[in-house]
Amino acid sequence: MMEVDKHGDVTNSSQEKTVFDDSKELNPILTDLFTDRSQGPAGSVQVREVLSHLKKNGLRPLTDPRFDEFMRQMIVEHSGHGDHVEVKKQVSVEEFQAAGRSCPGLLNRALSCSLAIPEFKEFCTQIKSIYDELRNVKGGKNAQYIPQLARVNPDYWGVSVCTVDGQRFSIGDVNVPFCIQSCSKALNYAINVTEHGAEYVHQFLGKEPSGRGFNQIHLDKNGLPHNPMINPGAISCCSVLRKEDSLAERYEYTEKMYKKMAGGEFIGFSNATFLSEKSEADRNFAIGYYLKEAGVFPEGSNLKETLDLYFQLCSVEANCDSAAVISATIANGGVCPTTGEVCISPDAVRNTLSLMNSCGMYDYSGEWAVEVGLPSKSGVAGSIFIVIPGVMGFCVWSPPLDELGNSYKGVLFAKKLVELFAFHSFDGVLVDQTKTDPRLHHERGTQEINNMISAALSSDLVELHRCLELGMDFNLPNYDSRTPLHLAVCAGNTPVVKYLIKTCGVEVNPVDRWNSTPLDDAIKLELHDLVKYLELQGAVRGADVARGFTGVSKVRYGDVLRKEQDLF
Ligand code: GLN
């Protein structure tokens, strides 16, 4: 007996239910896509195919902590000559479903290609092309004020991205450590607001762009440093950071917070840079004394310790790969995408993003807000943390700086990024939308299919015609490989069936995931007129399609997935 479920699809009570609770169980339909039944009806899930599919979607199942438990079930440990671990070739469907219970939501979204960036492979290809285009570009100069920064290889060039779903892509010198320098300013502010609330923190610093160089000695109209993204405000921020504790504990705590935001990935410390910073720090000492005289710091704070903490936090190291996770944590509302740990409060994220947007790129911040339109923070070692709220975080790193102190190549990268993709915060208002939006591809596809299917089911010829005018593909199947024609037949609406075949030119024998063609549905529902009509149009039954009687080669969604090659 056919019935319409609450999603508007038709289910057959003899078939398994397709409505599925994403939060607890792995969708059996998705497991099915990776199940080989050639050796018997129970079938076995091809583990390597699953892993390569996850990797193609930017996930790192072998190191991503969200997959820890799942992966434990997917490997065999060999003991003997030096223990080693190997990925199983296949597991039973039951084993796979059981393992999937440790991360069902993530696996469901990954296996159905519905992560933050659904077509991640294509997206990475485009990021790589920007990276390659800039690889040999020369321009700018390393920061000279301390030897450790001046002597870094100026040809280092790395780009890393991490989406809010933890999809990763890194290219170039992405594992080379660099000091995060002023990028620490955004993090320190975020940590402070998380700890104390914005109202308290802003007793010691403002929110306005200064219109002056990052290390100018200057206060705003309220007698406070302008904002936390440049030195006076950043030093003030350090005076607040865990101020009750010893310097050692304050540093330790903050470094741990950075590491937490980086999902436990690489965070180091360059003592040489710290010592140089400190010995070359006349200007920062001058700023510090000026702030102290103006009564900016919280009561009882020790200037020397505050500055030490400031220099130390500038000397913390990350690499592009780990720093992209930090940016992604900010993009993800303060929750680390790869560990799920809450690092920064939503309020603090909102404030941090606002100030990164208006003040994060030194005296280029206004220009950046217009040209790039993404909250970002740059550091004098050549890194830029770029955040696309709700979508992803980038870290780009190239040591030579332009005259305003931002990474020369990093700025070019960001400009090209928003030329290509609709990522600028205000791109949504563009009428003539020529840029692509990698967030939407999948959504749009799913939406289109759902529209067509519900129009077919409800016999809405007007809507179907609109879809046709928009150039939609009426052969596209839904998650059960059912097409508008299947649904129109189930609705028993001959005019719509005729419209789909004659006007839209749809394939007459699409096969759904139960191997049924529209003719099978018509026969099952005893719709004799439709059976006759379909047969006249060359319709055959699913079993015949399977035996190759028609020469129709209908590739199903699962087969397409299986054929995809592993890019990385
Ligand atoms: N350590 C640097 C300073 O205060 C940080 C500067 C920067 O990255 N712009 O001079």
Ligand 1 atom at minimal distance to the Cα of residue 230: 9
Atom 2 of ligand 1, residue of closest alpha carbon: 181
Q: CA–CA separation, 155 vs 400, rounded Å?
A: 8
User: Who lines ligand 1 at CB under 6 A?
Assistant: 181-182, 214-215, 231, 277, 284, 314, 379-380, 405
Summarize the confidence of residues 164-179 as an average pLDDT. 98
Among the residue ranges 113-127, 187-201, 379-393, the one predicted with the least confidence is: 113-127
Q: How confident is the model at residue 297 (pLDDT cuts 50, 70, 90)?
A: very high
Averaged pLDDT for residues 167-187: 98
Query: Which atom of ligand 1 has the smallest separation from the CA of 405?
Result: 9
pLDDT digits (tens, 9 = 90+) for 22-72: 457 888 878 988 999 888 888 999 999 999 999 999 999 999 999 999 999
Amino acid identity for residue 506 in this structure:
V
Question: How far is the centre of ligand 1, averaged over its atoms, from the C-alpha of 182 (Å)?
Answer: 5
Atom of ligand 1 nearest to the CA of 315: 1
Query: What is the CA(183)–ligand 1 centre distance, in A?
Result: 9
In the prediction, which pLDDT does 326 show?
98
Q: Which pLDDT value is given to residue 407?
A: 98
Question: How do residues 329-369 score in pLDDT, each as one tens digit?
Answer: 999 999 999 999 999 999 999 999 999 999 999 999 999 99
Report which of 558, 567, 481, 503 is spatially closest to residue 46, judged by C-alpha positions: 558
Read off the pLDDT of each residue in 265-269 and give the average, rounded to a whole number: 98
Of all atoms in ligand 1, which is nearest to the CA of residue 181?
8
The C-alpha angle 166, 335, 209, rounded to 5 degrees, equals 105
For residue 380, the CA-to-ligand 1 centroid distance in Å is 6
Report the separation in Å between the CA atom of 184 and the middle of ligand 1, taken as the mean of its atom positions. 10
Domain definitions of the chain by residue range: 28-111, 123-426, 443-567
555 pLDDT tier (thresholds 50, 70, 90): very low
**Residue to mutate, 145, 149, 182, ligand 1, most ligand atoms under 8 Å from C-beta:** 182
CATH topology of domain 123-426: Beta-lactamase (3.40.710)
Q: What is the pLDDT of residue 431?
A: 60
pLDDT above 90: percentage of residues in the chain: 70
pTM (two decimals):
0.77
The continuous run of DSSP H or E covering 356 comes out as: helix 346-359
28-111: CATH architecture: Orthogonal Bundle (1.10)
Atom of ligand 1 nearest to the CA of 145: 10
The percentage of residues in the chain with a pLDDT greater than 70, rounded to a whole number, is: 89
**Region 252-278: what's the mean pLDDT?**
98
Pocket test for ligand 1, best of 148, 216, 217, 231 (most atoms within 8 A of CB): 231
Whether 388 shows a pLDDT value over 80: the answer reads: yes
3-state secondary structure labels for all residues of 116-173:
CCCCHHHHHHHHHHHHHHHHCCCCCECCCCCHHHHCCCCCCCEEEEEECCCCEEEEEC
Q: Pick the range with the lowest mean pLDDT from 20-34, 65-79, 203-217, 372-386.
A: 20-34
Mean pLDDT of 140-160: 97
Q: Is 560 helix (H, G, I), strand (E, B) or coil?
A: helix
3-state secondary structure of 503: helix
Mean pLDDT in residue range 138-147: 96
Classify domain 443-567 by CATH architecture: Alpha Horseshoe (1.25)
CA distance 384 to 376: 7
